[in-house]
Structure 1
Amino acid sequence: MKTARQRYQDRMERVLDHVDRHLDGDLDLATLAGVAAFSPCHFHRQFSAVFEVSVHRYVQLARMKRASYRLAFRDRDSVTAIAMEAGYDAPDAFARAFRKRIGQLPSAFRRSPDWETWHAALGPLTEARSKRMQTSFSADQVTIRDTPPVPVAVMEHRGDPRTIGATIQRFIAWRKAQGLGPRVSTTWNIFHSDPRTAAPEDYRLSLCAGTDRPVAPNEAGVAPGLIPGGRCAVLPVTGSSDDLEPAALFLYRDWLPASGEEPRDFPLYCRRIAFFPDVPEHEAVTELYLPLK
């Protein structure tokens, strides 16, 4: 039986899911209060009390986040189309709102995103989703698989994790030039560092695209690599993949001690199966792999 607090939280979670599904629709206060089945007279205070951000600002930041991902990582999408998708009738109105929230005009952000300012601007959105709406995991969600080796093309990110967006942009450009987009090539990340404990300058992450083609020397710094095969504990994660630490913590703190298994000498890694902004953020699917002996 769910407690009253859990039922209340479920109603609030429905609002976040509705926002993610309808970013280009009508998301006014009355609509969202109806989703939660709360009175519009009180809903704005209830939402702010739970998420520490107003309904209006949350919706606007969610739209700006999707717009910023499309600007930075989907160069086929025009600024005008992105503006319309974000709910603006004219590119100029979108440009003013984007600069107010993100600190750059959309065209400037597309050319050279200021990722540190972007992280700070989206802080309230990140806090609302990661601190207030914790995803819980259970042992029955974990499966043990014998995985085949995966040859990959690798671009390494070294340095502050807040600047990884620039590395992702370069890797996407390289993949596109090589005809290795996500539709024909699997997408993997290898976590060499723990972002909670590594100094920003020491943080290391590998961005990988599955391919059995030879990777010729190139100016982008992409090199051939291999994700070794073997036994792995696999935990699927549905929803935002910005922060996979709660899932990783569950595997190391809860699942591994109770399983009787021993980790193998290869880092934690993940496969990104469906990812934002191609799908709504709550529909993103990531598989987290813990290599086992």
Structure 2
Amino acid sequence: MKSEYARRLNKVLDYIDTHLGEDLDLGTLADEAAFSKYHFHRVFSAFMGEPLGSYIQRLRLERAACLISSRPDLTITEIGLEAGFSSSAVFSRAFRDRFDMSPSAWRAGGITDYSKKCKLQSNRYHPMSSYSKATRVESSYSVYTQQKWRVSMKTEAKTLDYDVRVEEQPEKTLAYVRHTGPYAGNEELFHSLFSRLLKWAAPRQLFKPGTTEMITIYHDSPEITEEEKLRISVCITVPADTEASGEIGKTTIPAGRYAVGEFLISAEDYGDAWNSLFAGWLPESGYQCADGPCYEVYLNDPEEHPEGKHHVAIHIPVIPL
């Protein structure tokens, strides 16, 4: 019974994510989850720990906050309307209620003050400005090869050397298990999530070592969303006609242009790798973040590496600056 509820809620959560800027009325969402609209509110709140309307409003505002800080080419009014608000005035009031500052103050650097006073996963790491200062970016390009970057982040504690390329990625169909809550540095959590997913996939002959990609999608920004509300989806690639069941959901990563940073790191270095990419490489690259999910692709089994290192490719959707 519980897995059936999880399947239906996965479906409606995916629908909300892909239609966030549209009118999301109760009847449509209840139908998507195959629940009576008279009881859907209560079911949603019980499982998510947050009322439906509050959940949608929060996601819209958090997505808008990301765009305000990462897309200077878009006006605040354009971002508010794209996020699903009826006017700039409605958007500004809702934004101030959520973040205790105006959208323009956020764009002027208010995100830093917000991050300092809130319980955010990003507080586990150094300030983003320190990653920018510690990261050196060298670009190479010729008529025979694609542009690529060699990046080095050096601090007193560690050095990260990695390569970045920008490439077109095809659409990927994924089966997933979703988790909401803190995740940074928790290897046991990721192992448990992947184990549940593979326990479902293996009997259906959907997991093919060497071919199947193992992926984690990060739906929220740890600089904005409180730890207990952070959402991740642990995934494997599957054929497009795969039928999901139980707690296993099905989604797609859209085709598009992605920056791909390839790392060989320890488990505790994931946050530094992400932050070096965003604060060090991105401002020097000529690109900016596009709207869409960021994700990791795992390229080895750390238990088979002599030093237990993780070979991982971080993917960030980008467009020209």
Please indicate the TM-score interval, normalised by the length of the shorter structure.
0.5 to 0.7
2:56 to 55, 59, 75: 59
Matches of 2:275 and 2:208 in 1, distance apart?
A: 25
Supply the AA of the counterpart residue of 2:313: R
Q: Would you say how many aligned residue pairs link Structure 1 and Structure 2?
A: 194
Shift of 1:21: 0.7
State whether residues 258 and 315 of structure 2, in contact with CA within 8 Å, keep that contact through their aligned partners in structure 1.
Answer: no
Matches of 2:313 and 2:104 in 1, distance apart?
A: 31
Supply the AA of the counterpart residue of 1:67: A
Q: Percent identity?
A: 28
Map 1:149-164 onto structure 2 (within 5 A). Answer: none
Matches of 2:97 and 2:89 in 1, distance apart?
A: 12
Aligned residue number for residue 313 of structure 2: 271
Shift of 1:251: 5.5
Map 1:10-89 onto structure 2 (within 5 A). Answer: 10-89=7-86
Matches of 2:119 and 2:98 in 1, distance apart?
A: 6
Aligned residue number for residue 89 of structure 2: 92
Q: Deviations over 1:1-26 (max 9, x none)?
A: xxx32122100101100000101112
Q: Which secondary structure does the structure 2 equivalent of 1:114 belong to?
A: helix
Query: What is the alpha-carbon root mean square deviation over aligned residues?
Result: 4.3
Matches of 1:185 and 1:11 in 2, distance apart?
A: 33
Shift of 1:142: 4.9
Q: Which secondary structure does the structure 2 equivalent of 1:76 belong to?
A: coil
- Any stretches of 5+ residues in structure 1 without a counterpart? 146-160, 166-181, 197-202, 210-219, 223-237, 279-293
Supply the AA of the counterpart residue of 1:143: G
Aligned residue number for residue 210 of structure 2: 143
Shift of 1:267: 3.9
Q: Deviations over 1:217-271 (max 9, x none)?
A: xxx876xxxxxxxxxxxxxxx9764xx7xx98x956xxx4xxxx3x144842532
Shift of 1:204: 3.6
1:186 to 260, 285, 293: 260
Shift of 1:117: 3.6
Supply the AA of the counterpart residue of 1:271: A
Supply the AA of the counterpart residue of 1:130: T
State whether residues 83 and 90 of structure 1, in contact with CA within 8 Å, keep that contact through their aligned partners in structure 2.
Answer: yes
Q: Which secondary structure does the structure 2 equivalent of 1:205 belong to?
A: helix
2:180 to 106, 121, 130: 130
Shift of 1:144: 8.0
State whether residues 301 and 310 of structure 2, in contact with CA within 8 Å, keep that contact through their aligned partners in structure 1.
Answer: no
Matches of 1:116 and 1:91 in 2, distance apart?
A: 23
CA 1:163/1:90 → structure 2, altered by over 3 Å: closer, same or farther? closer
Q: Deviations over 1:88-129 (max 9, x none)?
A: 222121111011112221111122143574695899xxxx95
Supply the AA of the counterpart residue of 1:81: E
Map 1:93-108 onto structure 2 (within 5 A). Answer: 93-108=90-105
1:112 to 95, 109, 113: 109
Shift of 1:193: 5.2
Q: Which secondary structure does the structure 1 equivalent of 2:59 belong to?
A: helix
